[in-house]
Structure 1
Amino acid sequence: MAVDKSKQPGSDPKRTSQSTSRPDVSETDVMPTEHAEVLDERDGLVEELKETADKLDRDGATRGDLKILSRAMRELRYAFKVFTPYRRRRKVTVFGSARTPEDTPLYEHVVEFGQKMGGLGWMVLTGAGPGVMEAANVGAGRGMSMGVNILLPFEQEANQVLRNDDKLVHLKYFFTRKLLFVKEVHAAALFPGGFGTLDEAFEVLTLVQTGKRDLMPLVLIDEPGGSYWKNWKKFIEEELLNTGMISPEDMDLFKVTDDIDEACGEILSFYCVYNSMRYVKGKLVLRLHLEPSDELVERLNVEFADIVERGRIEKVGTHPLEADDAHLADLPRLQFRFNRKYIGRLRQMVDVLNEELGACAPELTV
């Protein structure tokens, strides 16, 4: 099938909120209580960066170390500038092989995924290269695509969808690129690929499983009738799950499918009721699109008592310490003291909330 690589979805993108959660905040951290204090804290962080630079000078840091730090900071500064206007837009990262030819069923499969997600108002972030990355951008169209291109001796030019686009960032380091792939998005879709794809799959899963990245849906998509991710899942079950190296609930952190509609549905349904999460004064706050009934909250306290360190799951209002998330102030909330070892069980609780509070309204699906 011939594909128009310059096409864009016809519908206008919808805007939604993005979590600005800070999972590393403890009760002893100083957090803002109003917008003026948010600015004060921001100024303090800028001073910390300057102080760190001064310490490097005093430490006699080597030229090589300074070059790495300088380049990494410049890359991230520019990338954050590019991503800032799109922070409240839902985005999905797409991973997969750069070697996938255009005339293959896998390429067309990825194009379909990009088309559907872009048409639903989701922006598609890729590594801006050829193969699967290009196919995802082709499907989403230039207007709904973003890219973080890695500069390699043998593969430097961005694909023709993103080439010279204002939403394209060029990076030297894999670690800065990988940070953006996970930090700036709300879901990840992985198609078959090589070492890099498997690396990203395990890294994203590890970050979510350990709570270093907020919960988000992860879909691993085979080509129709394919077995790449099915065989990967079999390995996970036989070598990790059955040997006790991971917990049974960790298997709920991802979904394997070869159906594009099912993959898109997995992403959309995750945000049906759940919006985002944030830690406030050592307690986990779940921001929701719909308020759960008292009966449902009681059920959660019974079924998920194991993930509550002490106290109960309860409905709460917006805390003053969430002042920098003012756009989420009107959302209903659940709060409890979460045992952070049980991320898989937390995902199961989010699934219960999404299932029990009914079908998504269209405006809540992106």
Structure 2
Amino acid sequence: MSPHVKPSKVPNERDFAGGMISSISCSFVGSTGEMQLDEEIKEMAAGISGVSDLCLLQEMMISSVRTARGAVTEGDFKTMNRALKEMRYANEVFYPFRSTRKVGVFGSARTQPHEPEYQAAVDFSRKMRDANFMTITGAGPGIMAAGNEGAGREDSFGLNISLPFEATANSYIAGDEKLIDFNYFFTRKLSFVKESDAVAAFPGGFGTMDEIFETLTLMQTGKVRIYPLVLVDAPGGTYWKFWLQFVQEHLHRLNLISDSDFSLFKVTDNVDEAVEEITNFYRNFHSYRYVGDHLVIRLLKPLTKAAINKLQKDFKDVIKSGKIKLSEALPEEANEPRLAELPRLVFRHGHRDFGRLREMINAINAAEVGS
């Protein structure tokens, strides 16, 4: 393990969808269309050691058979196979570091080391390392190299994309066991979303815009858990200020986004402020997941009764019905035993307006805690 970044005292929850991915039941495994073959697959799955979910393995095997026999071109079949292999390998690389918080760093590959944006990215990643966050970059030059440089090789990941004009990883992550090569942008972006506990974006081009708007879209629609997104300029820089002006004057003015959507990100030209935005998010809040229509928010320390009452009053629009309750782990959370001791806030949530949910998490972090 890295000498700089230490695992969290309380293990991290790695369900990036916050419990929104439905569990698999053996009643819904499906069929190849041949009863005998289904039984053979079931027996084969049962005979494989170290499998945590036999029903899910059976379904994946059946899906592969049906894909191979179905209306699929050779190119489609190869794409599905390679995508699954890339996802499997990425999981194997990240798994040993699953209890360590990580920040994804985006920005232009064209930024030069002498430019202030590059130096700001180095400073940011170094300070995030000191705050016990590893750094994930796209492994290329520019801001990506700055992120790996600031964090250092031992505290860095590199998610390299195979491109005809950027064939090699930057020198700060090249050759490291935590460097992963991807053929597809979608598998690479899935790893960023799935493994990051926060995202910092520095000035960049189309790729950076794609990454931050996708992050915002996924959080706004509740498809991934909420986490901090900071848009960082060099001191005195105006890149993100003009981006924010566009969002305000066009998206918001035309009622294409809500007031609370501005709570899903923060624009700053101060590295210390960016670091504080991320670390404060995890001051007391740990993670959340859904159990049916109930939202279960895990905390490091329980809130006082008065603090919970204030949340009930201030965020009544977030609560679908009923009251916010301080709770122990629910029976449905038994598949996450390492988090069983954390106190919970449980309430019915309407699965909408996630900007307001982010504001509620901010209020939780600022609230008075009990013993």
TM-score w.r.t. the length of structure 2 is: 0.89
Displacement of 1:183 in angstroms is 0.7
Which secondary structure state, in structure 2, belongs to the residue aligned with residue 128 of structure 1? coil
**CA RMSD across the alignment:** 1.9
Which residue of structure 2 aligns with residue 35 of structure 1? none
Matched, 1:88 2:99: yes
Shift of 1:23: 3.6
Asked if 1:13 corresponds to 2:6, the answer is yes
One-letter identity of the residue aligned with 1:114: S
2:110 equivalent to 1:99: yes
Equivalent residue, structure 2, for 1:230: 241
Cα offsets for 1:92-120 (capped at 9, x unmatched): 00000000111111111111011101122
> Of 173, 176, 184, which aligns to 1:165?
176
> For 1:1-366, what aligned pairs fall within 5 Å after superposition?
11-15=4-8, 16-21=10-15, 22-25=18-21, 42-357=53-368
Q: Do 1:210 and 1:341's aligned partners in 2 also have CA atoms closer than 8 Å?
A: yes
- C-alpha displacement at 1:24, in angstroms? 2.1
| Partner Cα separation in structure 2 for residue 18 and residue 12 of structure 1 | 14
Check conservation: 1:25, 1:280, Cα contact below 8 A: no
1:13 partner amino acid: K
Q: 1:20, 1:278 within 8 Å by CA — same for their partners in 2?
A: no
Match of 1:6 in 2: none
Rounded Cα–Cα distance in structure 2 between residues aligned with 1:12 and 1:335? 32
Structure 1, unmatched stretches of 5+, are: 1-8, 32-38, 359-366
Q: Deviations over 1:225-272 (max 9, x none)?
A: 111101001111111112111110110110000100000000000000
Normalising by structure 1, report the TM-score. Answer: 0.90
Whose relative contact order is higher, 1 or 2, with alpha carbons under 8 Å and at least 6 apart? Answer: 1
Q: What residue identity is the alignment partner of 1:147?
A: G
Q: Tell me, what secondary structure is at the counterpart of 1:311?
A: coil
**How many pairs were matched up?**
343
Shift of 1:11: 3.6
Counterpart CA distance in 2 for 1:120 and 1:251 is: 25
| Amino acid aligned to 2:122 | V
* 1:281-326 deviation digits (Å, cap 9, x = unpaired): 3311000011111111111111111111222211111112212221
* Cα distance, 1:30 vs structure 2: 5.3
SS in 1 for 2:237: coil
SS of 1:79's equivalent in the other structure is helix
- TM-superposed CA distance for 1:155, in Å, is 0.4
The residue type equivalent to 1:24 in the other structure is M
User: For residue 93 of structure 1, what is the amino acid of its counterpart?
Assistant: G
Q: Name the stretch that deviates more: 104-113 or 170-179.
A: 104-113
